Structure 1
Amino acid sequence: MDRSIVSGILSVSASKFIALVVGLLSKPLLARLLGPEQFGEYATVMAVQGIFMIFVSAGISDGVRKYVAEDRHEDGWKATVIGFYLRTATVLAIGGAIVLAGVTYSGFFATVFEPRFSSYFYLLVVLVITAQYWEFARKSLMGLGLERYSEPLKILYTISFPLVALPLIATGSGVIGAIIGQIVATALAAVGGLLLLHWRDSLRNVFHQPPDTFPRMEMVTFNSLSIALIFLLMSLYHIDILMLQGWIGGDQVGYYKAALEFAEFLWFAPLVLQTVFVHSTSELWSQGETERISQLAARATRYTFLLTAVMSIGIAALAADVIPVYWSYGMEPVGPLLLLLPGSLGFALARPILAISQGKGELRYPIAATGVAAVINLVLNLLLIPRYGMHGAAVATSSGYASMTVFHVWSARKIGFDPLADARIGRITLASLIAAVPIFALESAISSVIAVPYVGALPVSILIVPPLGLGLFLLAAIGVGALGVFELLEILTEFPDPIGSLSNTICRRLRRTEAESTTLE
């Protein structure tokens, strides 16, 4: 894999890992302080905000990330692209804020949900503006290849949110406190990002119109298609929450959101790849490097499947032990979580494939693929939620997620690359089945608990099963040929020291031994 891409992946991985750790610590506190019902209300409000921002952002984040990364021989190309998109982002943010304020004032949200939701959405008017600039700044820096700057901003946002929100919620602000936390966190990250862009001298064209040769229509077309694609993706993320809130409401929405949070742990590595691949492969597509793209896609699919498979097994094995301790919601979210895992694994595989397709800019096939999956998701949620509640939502959403893999493999082949060329699906599946038996047996055999201050009784299995399970899975994967020893070491050489240097030393010694053995023969 190209070292510049690996560098970007590691930069994004570091920020997402910190975000994951902060989330692991803060989300259960957020859920406990809000309680299941208010936690569900907060999830509903943020789901509406996520869908609304699709139209406000109008594909700006994907557009600026794609076009600023392209290698075009025009004077001031990158600065011109950033200036064009910043002007567009400003106009759309102001327009979106006015529209949201008007819809809230009309009583729409009070009628659809409850009267108290109006106060939530008035606050979202401010969040529309701060979130717009935050997303624009971060994606612009990424398009410039400056992940070393964009990712600390992600960390700033991740840490700022709980630092502001949790004290406000603890003093009785409830959902409003959580939304204020989002506003402050996105505002801080937005200001920091815009200052970094200004420091890089990339904002000098904000007040200048681009030249006549600037491809406005190409960008507008790409943005329009991006809106359709992102809307379909967001429907997969949020339609279940909105329908569950509208039809069932109460604690079930909070329990279901807790299950979703756990299932989405599978997306850690795929989200990293998806974040980096859009602008990285855009540059490769513009240079005609089709063969490198196909190799990259095949390898990314295999690594994603390996990692998400072992994570799925671990989460399934430990669900009954972890969820009551982590969420303090008892066993309620366990059933929906187990139903969500297969689909979440499928969605994980589709993410890098989708990002590479976006990098080329041909969005017709990705839109068609995502659209079919979104229709499946919508129809099943309509049929199953009224009858089965959160369990019906889990089955419907898992089915929609899983179908993403099938349809996006088809989409990729239509665009011109094959993500399954070296995916080794059968071997990874076999390794998963082999490793699952001892992992589940190990979890069942460990019944002891330890007392942890502020947590209570912590099952020992949570500490023992993950490292041993990972070791068992790697042995099984290497044994069946899903992963090579040298391949694993080469991946580890890209990690920071001491892991990188140690792996590099071992790799050199093994290659020297192999070369000497070949010479003797």
Structure 2
Amino acid sequence: MNRSIASGVFSVVSAKVVVLVVTAVSTPLLYRFLGASAYGDYAFLLSAFAIYMIFVSSGITDGVRKFLAEDRNAANWSEHVVGFYFRLAIVLAIVGAVLLVLAARSGLVAAAFGEELTRYFYALAALVLSAQFRDYARKTLMGFGLERYSEPLKVLDKVGFVAVAIPLVYLDFGVLGALAGHLFASVIVAAAGLALVDRRVPLSCVFTRPPERFPRKRMLTFNSMSIVLVFLLMSLYHIDIVMLQRFRTSAEVGNYRAALTIAEFLWFVPLALQTVFVHSTSELWSQNRMRKITDLASRTTRYTFLLTGVMAVGLAALADVAVPLYFGSEAEPAIKPLLLLLPGAIGFALARPILAISQGNGTLRYPVVATGVAAGINLVLNALLIPLYGMQGAAIATSVGYGSMFVFHCWSARRVGFDPLADARLGRTALTTVLAGGPIVALAAAISNPWVALAVVPPIGFAIFLAFALLVGALDPTDPFEVLSAFPDPVGSTASGLRARLESLEDESSRNWLQTLLFGIGLSLLVSGLTLGVLGVDVRAVLALLSL
């Protein structure tokens, strides 16, 4: 991973960490203030809105990000791209808002979703306008490689939402208060984002007609394929919520959404990679650097599997502790769906960077086919299982759909021209997850105090997982430092020095000694963890004894 891509990833990951923290704090407050039933209505409205916005904005945001990132020699290329997509954004935003208002006034919304939800669609119509320009501005900045501006805007969006929505919901404005928070935040971000774009390319370019050789047809074709691709992706995210609302109560929808929220915490780094790779790999594709693309894809797959694997094991071990503490006792029914969702969430996390690299190529035929097959499996299973098993059925169906994304997108990647499994070491990483899972789960079960479990299990569990990853060869000792060396100084220079020292260990006996040491540590952790779990030893007593 070169330094330019790494800096983009670093900017996106930093913003996503902040957003993750704000979301982690605000989501349980929304759940508690709204209650499971109203939170279910709110989750359904956001899912319906996300699917609707696919046809309003997805082709625009993906298109402007990709084509701005391409290295073109045409005169005023950036101005023409920005103006072309800005005109398209204005037209589609107005049409999208008007159609929502007409659907609400004509009774179509009431017939489809119930009279009580109709009033919310007027707020969604206003949100169409603001969200369109918010997303256009952010993705345009990303197309210019200005993640240092686009990602803080995402933080501003989340903070602005929380600052308005939480007080309004607390004051009993209910779902309308939450939607008002989204509207306020998107207006602020759209205004700030467009001002930043105007500093790079004057927005007056919207009135400039591009030359005849400007690839309008290719852009519109890419838009069409992007809309299909994003629609299929969004169906994986939201079709379970929409169908569950149709067959079950709003309270069950709310608890299922709570389970999804926790499972989606696995995706924050893969999402960052996906966000950056679309436009960053466009340049690699344009230079025909196939070996670099394969190396980037396969190592990203390995690192993503390792990271999401340890997070999934930790969430599974602490699910019965974390869910009631996080959302309240009313959310205890969300524990089982969460456990069922975790395997699929890992598969979807692995598929995200692969999909992004395929998108960077610009040929969307195979990614669309792969996503379409996974979305079809997800739709059919949800239709079969939700009426019978409710949110457990939705979790099983969605997990299978998520997991199949990885399989189908590996096939798609090879058709596009790169191999995401070349250095993925899937077998070793899976073995690491299985070996580390035992002691981590046993350690969590042995701790009776939930707060102590939340404080102790994550760091010790990560150490256990890292030891096994090094032991079985899923992770080389130099790998973490190689990744960190691409980041800005002083992190990059320090990591490079440490990496060089490790690589200088040519003595085979030194390497064997290191592996033996790691094996001993891993084995002792495994035995001690299982012993604690079987005997039910209170870890607090052990820690108190060690502190004497």
The structural deviation recorded for 1:250 is: 2.6
Cα deviation code 1:118-163 (max 9, x no counterpart): 1111000110011100111101100100001101101100111110
The equivalent of 1:269 in structure 2 is: 269
**Residue 465 (str. 1) matches residue 452 (str. 2):** no
The equivalent of 1:145 in structure 2 is: 145
Cα deviation code 1:292-325 (max 9, x no counterpart): 1111111111111111111110110010010000
The equivalent of 2:399 in structure 1 is: 398
Paired residues of 2:3 and 2:487 also in contact (CA < 8 A): no
Q: TM-score, normalised by structure 1?
A: 0.95
The structural deviation recorded for 1:492 is: 2.8
- 1:4-15 paired onto structure 2 within 5 Å: 4-15=4-15
Paired residues of 2:40 and 2:254 also in contact (CA < 8 A): yes
In terms of mean alpha carbon deviation, does 502-511 or 62-71 score higher? 502-511
Q: Secondary structure at the match of 1:116?
A: helix
Q: Secondary structure at the match of 1:75?
A: coil
CA distance in 1, matches of 2:505, 2:388: 64
The structural deviation recorded for 1:497 is: 6.4
What stretches of structure 1 of length at least 5 have no aligned partner?
450-458
- 1:18-417 paired onto structure 2 within 5 Å: 18-328=18-328, 329-417=330-418
* Corresponding residue pairs, total: 509
Cα deviation code 1:199-236 (max 9, x no counterpart): 11342411111111100000000000111111111111
Paired residues of 2:477 and 2:502 also in contact (CA < 8 A): no
The structural deviation recorded for 1:331 is: 1.9
Q: Secondary structure at the match of 2:249?
A: coil
Paired residues of 1:78 and 1:202 also in contact (CA < 8 A): no
CA distance in 2, matches of 1:127, 1:498: 42
The equivalent of 1:485 in structure 2 is: 477
Amino acid corresponding to residue 54 of structure 1 in structure 2:
I
The equivalent of 1:420 in structure 2 is: 421
Compute the RMSD of aligned alpha carbons. Answer: 1.6
Amino acid corresponding to residue 224 of structure 1 in structure 2:
S
The structural deviation recorded for 1:249 is: 2.0
Paired residues of 1:83 and 1:205 also in contact (CA < 8 A): yes
CA distance in 1, matches of 2:505, 2:470: 20
Amino acid corresponding to residue 476 of structure 1 in structure 2:
F
In terms of mean alpha carbon deviation, does 497-506 or 294-303 score higher? 497-506
* Compared CA separation, residues 288 and 505, structure 1 to 2 (3 A): closer
Amino acid corresponding to residue 290 of structure 2 in structure 1:
T
The structural deviation recorded for 1:269 is: 1.1
CA distance in 1, matches of 2:134, 2:121: 19
The structural deviation recorded for 1:263 is: 0.7
* Compared CA separation, residues 498 and 69, structure 1 to 2 (3 A): closer
The structural deviation recorded for 1:116 is: 1.9
Amino acid corresponding to residue 174 of structure 1 in structure 2:
G
The equivalent of 1:453 in structure 2 is: none
The equivalent of 1:506 in structure 2 is: 498
CA distance in 1, matches of 2:489, 2:2: 20
The equivalent of 1:452 in structure 2 is: none
The equivalent of 1:456 in structure 2 is: none
Cα deviation code 1:364-416 (max 9, x no counterpart): 11111111111111111111111111001001111111111111111111111
* Compared CA separation, residues 330 and 242, structure 1 to 2 (3 A): closer
CA distance in 1, matches of 2:127, 2:187: 8
CA distance in 2, matches of 1:20, 1:250: 25
Q: Secondary structure at the match of 1:121?
A: helix
Moved over 6 A (4+): none
Paired residues of 1:79 and 1:204 also in contact (CA < 8 A): no
Q: Secondary structure at the match of 2:179?
A: helix
Paired residues of 1:82 and 1:202 also in contact (CA < 8 A): no
CA distance in 1, matches of 2:259, 2:27: 12
The structural deviation recorded for 1:505 is: 4.1
CA distance in 2, matches of 1:413, 1:487: 25
CA distance in 1, matches of 2:449, 2:296: 44
The structural deviation recorded for 1:444 is: 1.1
The structural deviation recorded for 1:85 is: 0.3
Cα deviation code 1:270-301 (max 9, x no counterpart): 10110000001111111211221111111111
The equivalent of 2:543 in structure 1 is: none
